[in-house]
Amino acid sequence: GGGGGGGGGGGGGLPPARVDGQAGFPPPPPGGEGGQGGAKRSRNRRRRPPAEGGRGSSEDPSKSFAGEAPLAAGAEGVQNGGQPPLEAAAAENNEADLGPAPVATETGHITNQPFDGLPVHQNTKRAIAQVLGYKYMTQVQHATCPVILEGYDVLAKAKTGTGKTLAFLIPSIEVLVRSPADPGNISILVLSPTRELASQITAEAEALLRFHPFKHMCMFGGRPMNKDHRALAGQVDVLVATPGRLVDHLENTRGFAERLGNLKILIFDEADQMLDMGFKPAIDKIVSYLPHRESRQTLLFSATVPKLLRNVVGTTLRSHHQVVDTVGEEVEQTHEHVSQTLFVSSLDTQLHALFTLLDQQLAIPRHKVIVFFATARVTGFVAQLYSALGRQCFEIHSRKSQPQRDKASRAFASCHQGVLFTSDVSARGMDYPNVTFVLQVGLTTKEQYIHRLGRTARAGKSGTGALLVAEFEERPMQNELRGVPLVPAPLPAPNPASSSLPQLQALLASMANPRHPLHQSAAQSYQAWLGFYNSNLRKLGWNKPHLVQMANLYARGIGHPTPPPLLKRTVGKMGLRDVPGLVIQ
């Protein structure tokens, strides 16, 4: 088949387009008939992922599988045979006749089914092979792409790190190829909960569109609106956006809402996380601006399907939508099969415990560690402290600019070993390959704990997790994580030959000096710690005087024998006026 297709027209090798005059997708199959080989299927049919099994080909699919694409927009990736870039509600339980199931390889989520077998444009296949360096589909791609190409709305239950981004982008671009939009119209809208994930999706879209004439754009909060306006002045066929920034443009950018008036495909990625983050009102507002669900195709990808998400499904997906479950009950939760350890330390020596655990990990070849903290300020301080000891690390949190976060994310994803200090901006959505250890520090919720732990043991790889808490957090966290196989263990003894503790103790002892480079960073982490635990008084059973007492103990542990001063306004906002023990600036 031919490659070109100027203006987005369908080149050779494309199957006949099936349209109903709307957006390049078929109406509901009459009488429940439809699909591959005329197989019967009922409404909201659940699709099962390919069965696990042995290798089905003499070639090694693990050398060229379609996991997540590089975060860096325009990155060339690797060619065939290389390692991939970055290695980068309820429904009827009936199975449609899909033909022989592909064989999943021992790499976990990869099948022996090549992308070349998909009925998509040659330019898309060329980008998959030459730009992304992929040959074989993952299970989620094989399970969802054919269904989406048939025009169905899809609710796909899929975990991050299994190639789901390509699973919705490849068939969506095919709809655009078969039914090009009028100039000025935005045809594909992808909603992402975070700017990091939006950037990652955009990178994959750019790679897939390399040999097509279509244009893409990414918009998210935290950057000037006029930058978006300049980009919107040109052609935009594929738009990736975070909900808040998209609502801002819909309400305030003249002519923008009209450009979405003929939207062909609406995609929700990490839909459960969007709802967790409180984006339900924004989602409702966005949908109110878009064509009716009967006039567009809607794809909803989510790791879980909570009750609130089922409500969204009922209002955004057409009634004959398909349910594709590539998670399954047995493998749904990482926390059920990953080894996890609970470590307890006193609050004023928690840094010593943390660095001892990291020393232990550094002794492991090809270690790749993520350490989660409750606040951005604490994350930044510990990262600076770690760097001051002469050790390389990466840090990602909301106090970093978006370019800084993107750079750190790319670097950590592509490195063979390293340590990443982060807050919850990396808890979900981002795919960091080969993470060997996830360490969480301090109070968290069960849901948050599970999402963070999910950064390791991905795509069939191994990994371990640990939770480090202060003594006062032990019982609340054991109650919170009831049912999670978290095994208490004593802290490991420092290795005299490689311990960082002597350097750490000397560094902390010098930080009381206001001129010390880390003095201010430590003070900011104190304020952030105080604010975070102030919001958790009920969980801990504390009153405010006890909170301040414990915060001052934390201050001593980070090199501040005297509590750092706080602005009177800050103390007032925390509701801590007249509480003894605080130093008011």
- Our CA angle for 420, 332, 358, nearest 5°, is 20
Give yes or no for residue 47 having a pLDDT over 60.
no
Which residue would you say has higher pLDDT here, 511 or 458?
511
Query: Scanning the structure block, which residue is given the tokens 């990652």?
Result: 200
Task: List pLDDT tens digits, range 137-187.
Answer: 999 999 999 999 999 999 999 877 789 999 999 999 999 999 988 889 999
Can you tell me the distance from the alpha carbon of 449 to that of 333, in angstroms, rounded to the nearest whole number? Answer: 12
The length of the chain in residues reads: 585
> Beta-carbon neighbour count of residue 561 at 10 Å?
10
- Our CA angle for 497, 502, 504, nearest 5°, is 120
- Residue 115 is encoded by which pair of tokens? 């992308």
Write the DSSP symbol of residue 33: B
Domain residue ranges in the chain: 110-327, 331-499, 512-574
- pLDDT, residue 13, reads 33
The pTM score is 0.57
Q: What amino acid is encoded at 121 in this protein?
A: H
Give yes or no for residue 203 having a pLDDT over 90.
yes
- pLDDT, residue 333, reads 59
Provide the pairing of β-strand 136-138 with 110-114.
Answer: antiparallel
Give yes or no for residue 124 having a pLDDT over 80.
yes
**Residues 284-298: what's their mean pLDDT?**
96
> Beta-carbon neighbour count of residue 114 at 10 Å?
19
Task: List pLDDT tens digits, range 227-268.
Answer: 999 999 999 999 999 999 999 999 999 999 999 999 999 999
Whether 331-499 and 110-327 are alike in CATH topology: the answer is yes
Which fold, 331-499?
Rossmann fold (3.40.50)
The phi and psi torsions of 67 (rounded to 5 degrees) equal -85, -145
Give yes or no for residue 10 having a pLDDT over 70.
no
Of 197-201, 330-334, 344-348, the range with the lowest mean pLDDT is 330-334
User: What CATH number belongs to 110-327?
Assistant: 3.40.50.300
Of 103-112, 187-196, 396-405, 508-517, the range with the lowest mean pLDDT is 103-112
